Amino acid sequence: MVEDIKVPAIGENVTSGSVVGVLVAVGDTVSVDDPLIELETDKAVVEIPSPVAGKVTELLVQSGDEVRVGDVIARVETEGGTGEKAPAAEKGAQSTPDADAQASGAEVGSEPQEPEPATEASGEGAPAETGDAGSKGRQPAADAETEKKDAAEEADRPPAPTSPAVRRLARELGVDIHAVKGSGPRGRISEADVKAHVKARFTAGDRAAEGPGAPPPLPDFSRWGRIETMTLSTVRRLTAETTVTAWHAVPHVTQFDSADITGLEPFMEQNARAVEAAGGKLTVTAILAKVCAAALKRFPRFNASIDMGSGQLILKHYIHIGVMVDTPRGLLVPVIQDVDAKSITELAVAITDLAERARSRKVKPDELEGGTFSISNQGGIGGTGFTPIVLWPQVAVLGVSRSATEPRWTDDEFRPRTILPLSLSYDHRVVDGADAARFLRWVCDCLEHPFTLHLGGNTENSS
């Protein structure tokens, strides 16, 4: 028989993605868990495997297509199959003029292309049936009138390149389907295009409602010279949305301090090979992760989230630290769980593994979630300091800049010391400046005098 292969549930709050690679071709034989496509979501690039073994008879997607969880991406004929297409595929062959586009994989995850009245009753986005059992399957008079009006208007214009289900969604949202710009092959309009059109319309309305303080529309830059436009990548778009949310939601303050890590350097040199043999790389980030885990226990407000709606502070009894990774696609923040329970060697191995997989698009969506605190280390690039943005709903992030040799007054004379600049951005609704200074100074003390980690106690003001 022929099995429909659908996009499975990928991760929490992940509902759609963009196809960045098709890994099989029609006629290929696949086994269970063989990857079929690569899908880029708002969180990561993941491979979608085949849940069955058999021969690929049809591919319904291509690179660049937008798909949602539950969309059919391929059909596979399993052993003992008759070679016939599934019923949904047969219906798709008896479709509207959109059929040629769907057969080429242009429409991703659309419903079978039936005559539109039949699709309306069961298509995607259709409202739940109401009324008594005798009313099932009958279209309300108001909807019938709308259908007639739409049909009359459509008669004067060529049909929009989309599916009946998407046309219905556009009608329900009050959108002229012809005004929507399609992102698919040959301008084909997807459900995501309709929603993006609506979002853009509301955003424009919000700007107008905000008054003179709202950013004005961009000028026509081509008036002054040659320009080039580039579509934002998924990661870049997500970074933009996340940082704007964080900047508006969190009242940021940044505390600066520096640690004398002269004594830390010999420790790292002596243990570098042992950590490398375990599969990691001993870095300041790995050591800081361990130190910060201890600091978060000592100062629990930094391991919290604030709920202004309920007037509550949510203190977390787990410590998951996100480590910001610079990748060719943009900034990703994979999360190391239970940092307080891991050794420095285990943290070094975990950071090395997550960073490599983040850069090679192999990190999993759930590995980018659940962080309670973050570390951003720009020391490998340069700079003397920066003010990192708190990743809401976290309340603090530690920034690490490049260490430098500086003269420090020690034992009645100036001596060269290796100084590491640190910056702590925090949510001032949760953390007061004095507590931020104490937190960061305690981190510096631990780097300078490692036994500080073992003193114990909780010095944070509990008020």
- Residue by residue, DSSP assigns 406-427 as EEEEETTEEEEEEEEEEEEEEE
Select from 323, 324, 326 the least CA-distant residue to 289: 323
- Residue 41 one-letter amino acid: T
| Whether 428 is catalytic | yes
- What residues contact residue 412 under an 8 Å CB cut-off, 6+ apart? none
Q: How far apart are CA 4 and CA 52, in angstroms?
A: 10
Question: Exposed, middle or buried by CB within 10 Å (0-12, 13-18, 19+), for 416?
Answer: exposed
CA atoms within 13 A on the CB side of 30: 28
- Separation between Cα atoms, residue 40 and residue 361, nearest integer Å: 9
Alpha-carbon torsion angle 306, 307, 312, 318, nearest 10? -50
Q: Please state, in angstroms and rounded to a whole number, the distance separating the CA atoms of residues 439 and 352.
A: 26
Per annotation, catalytic residue among 320, 428, 449, 454:
428
Q: Name the pairing type of β-strands 252-260 and 35-40.
A: unpaired
Q: In terms of C-beta density within 10 A (0-12 exposed, 13-18 middle, 19 or more buried), how is residue 145 classed?
A: exposed
* Torsion 49-55-59-63 (CA) sign: positive
- Tokens describing residue 164: 């009946």
Phi and psi at 140, nearest 5°, equal -60, 155
Residue 84: CB atoms within 10 Å:
12
Measured CA to CA, the distance from residue 423 to residue 288 in angstroms comes to 13
Which two structure tokens, joined as six digits, stand for 367? Answer: 């590995």
Residues in contact with 172: Cβ distance below 8 Å, sequence separation at least 6, in sequence order = 125
Structural contact between residues 419 and 261, judged by C-beta atoms closer than 8 angstroms: yes
Contacts of 223 (CB under 8 A, 6+ apart): none
Catalytic residues: 428
